[in-house]
Amino acid sequence: MKAQSPNNDNTSSIPPWIRIIQDGFVVWVLLGAAWGWFAPDVAASGKTWIPEALAAVMLGMGLTLTHQEVLNLRYSGRMLMVGVALQYLVMPLSAWMIAMALGLPKLLALGVILVGACPGGTASNVVAYLARGDVALSVGMTTVSTLLSPILTPLWIWILASTWISIDFLPLLGTVTKIVLLPVLIGMIVRRFWQPTPRFLEGLLPIFSMVIIAWIVGVIVGLNHDQLNIAGVVVIAVVAHNALGLGLGYWVSGFTKAAHQQRRTVAIEVGMQNSGLAVALAIAHFGPIAAVPGAIFSIWHNVTGPLLASVWRRRKD
């Protein structure tokens, strides 16, 4: 959704109706899925535009960043390094273990691994804020994991899945670079010469991202309309994957003696993936079936994240 801290004093200028729309993110994702289910032919026709749509979301993320904020990440300390390490260890490895344990067909197993190998989700900053977490740490983890993704995402896919399916590392690297890194960098460059209003950055831009993500989910549902009878076992895989990310993120970060606020943030960042990127990679390189786990994860983690945040928000620690 955005990489800028929602703890900005300027957010008071955002009209309540925009906040209501943003808070209904889960509803929009479900509406997107319903559109794909009831109008599969229309939805599936958007297949070729998925990479461009996701690149637009990442461009929006770049607009929320300044080059100085990125440079300042070197002062973010141990928890940032721990969090990013957990992101790129827990999620890829748990994806592989779950796929093997459930005996998923090759392309579905690959789809789960695609989700696990991706960087943190773009909605995680807002969820961290709602959970009374460390928003600066959340922004840092999202930014660093995204900037590392052109190398680490294709590398993990190749390591974990090349034993049963042909994986070309360089084309994957090129796709992640075009969809993620270049749009983020372009957004940052534009931000140097243009200062958007708070209403645009904190209000309209997140809604734009929400609409695109909901649209992508709808397209994937439409593409796989006749194959969704296999979705039951994929749902189990997605639920387990998300739960391990959230649980291990919180538990392992506790060994650093981090405050609860930071542990919540790491849990959210590790458990919420950029599943839209997983969908785009699946469509571009492997086929619609491999995109099913990413589409289901898009819905599920945008349910569990806000629910967990609402529980943590009520706690006093």
pLDDT in tens, 169-204: 889 999 899 988 899 889 889 988 888 888 887 778
Least Cα distance to 122 among 188, 186, 192, 210 occurs for 210
Greatest CA span in the chain, whole angstroms?
A: 53
In the chain, domain spans: 47-313
Residue 293 near residue 114, CB atoms below 8 Å: yes
Q: What percentage of residues in the chain have a pLDDT greater than 70?
A: 93
**CB contact set of 24 (below 8 Å; sequence gap of 6+):** none
At 316 the pLDDT is 64
Least Cα distance to 142 among 190, 76, 210, 205 occurs for 76
At 312 the pLDDT is 86
At 76 the pLDDT is 67
Gap between the Cα atoms of 136 and 147, Å rounded: 17
Question: Which residues are registered as beta bridge partners of 273?
Answer: 120
String of DSSP letters for 25-53: HHHHHHHHHHHHHHSHHHHHTTGGGHHHH
Least Cα distance to 124 among 206, 36, 44, 197 occurs for 206
Into which CATH architecture does domain 47-313 fall?
A: Up-down Bundle (1.20)
String of DSSP letters for 247-303: HHHHHHHGGGT--HHHHHHHHHHHH-B-HHHHHHHHHHHT-GGGGHHHHHHHHHHHH
Q: Measure the CA angle with vertex 279, ends 277 and 282; round to 5°.
A: 110
In the block, residue with structure tokens 């009374």: 132
At 5 the pLDDT is 47
Segments of the chain with pLDDT less than 70: 1-13, 23, 75-76, 229-230, 316-317
At 1 the pLDDT is 47
Least Cα distance to 275 among 108, 96, 118, 106 occurs for 118
Gap between the Cα atoms of 109 and 118, Å rounded: 15
Q: Which two tokens stand for residue 145?
A: 């994991």
Q: Let me know if 229 is exposed, middle or buried by CB neighbors in 10 A (0-12, 13-18, 19+).
A: exposed
At 317 the pLDDT is 62
Q: What is the pTM of this model?
A: 0.84
Rounded to the nearest angstrom, the gap between the alpha carbon of residue 88 and the centroid of all alpha carbons in its chain is 13
Residue 143 near residue 65, CB atoms below 8 Å: yes
At 71 the pLDDT is 76
